[in-house]
Amino acid sequence: MPRIVNHDQRRQELVHHVWALIRREGLDGVTIRNLSRQSGWSSGAIRHYLPTHDSILTFAAEQLARAVEQELRALPLQGPPQAQLESFLLALLPLSGPSREWTEVWLAFASAAVRGEQYADAHGILYRDLHATLLNIMRSLAQAELLRTETPEQAAAGLHALIDGLCLHLLMRQLTPDEAKRALLQRVRTLLVADTDTVSPGA
């Protein structure tokens, strides 16, 4: 009887090797030969799933977007809106093993984007998806009159810039996790009116 191969499972096994290679070598170091050494897969097996350099990087970006989305959707958001917003935003910072791995991969793509290489744009990992999510949250809070003075667009842009900056400073070890948390929570307190307990930020 021929062996049944779960191709989705095989691709999931491969993605962690791709991410590890990106973190260590950068996007330019992602080659079939290097990935073969990293993963222990033969070059032929890798080419069966990911035949080119661009397909490997597109796969890495796609899977990163999916992993982050799943993680955020699984957050047990409870309590008043301020507490829920704080929990959501803190989950975006590289404070744990998986989130640090994802953020280091994100940074590699961001660096490539500065050079004009737009591998990740189709999957929104550099800006689009997070900005859209933050804007939806801020609009919900504004509709409930829970934003102090900023428009939803201003609030979303400010939070997004702060999160990106904190992620970079954490990866550079210029901030401790506690310092980053305090900076983010202080921003939330200045953003929302007091005693915000009437609306869910994801509504």
pTM score over 0.75: yes
Distance between CA atoms of 177 and 82, rounded to whole angstroms?
20
Spatial contact of 75 and 88, defined as CB atoms under 8 Å apart: yes
109 located within any domain: yes
Distance between CA atoms of 145 and 139, rounded to whole angstroms?
10
| Nearest-10 crossing angle of helices 53-73, 97-114 | 130
Q: What size, in residues, is the chain? A: 203
Give the type of residue at 45. Answer: A
The boundaries of the domain holding residue 66 are 53-191
145 located within any domain: yes
126 located within any domain: yes
13 located within any domain: no
Q: Total structural domains in the chain?
A: 1
24 located within any domain: no
168 located within any domain: yes
Give the 3-state secondary structure of residue 192.
Answer: strand
203 located within any domain: no
202 located within any domain: no
pLDDT tens, position by position, 3-42: 555 667 777 889 999 999 999 999 999 999 999 999 999 9
- DSSP codes, 59-116: HHHHHHHHHHHHHHHT----SSHHHHHHHHHHTTSS-SHHHHHHHHHHHHHHHHHHTT
Structure tokens given for 64? 């990163």
Structure tokens given for 45? 């097996």
Structure tokens given for 87? 């929990």
Q: Domain of 141: which CATH number?
A: 1.10.357.10
pLDDT tens, position by position, 123-175: 677 788 899 999 999 999 999 999 999 999 999 999 999 999 999 999 999 99
Q: How far is CA 174 from CA 97, 179, 188, in A?
A: 18, 10, 21
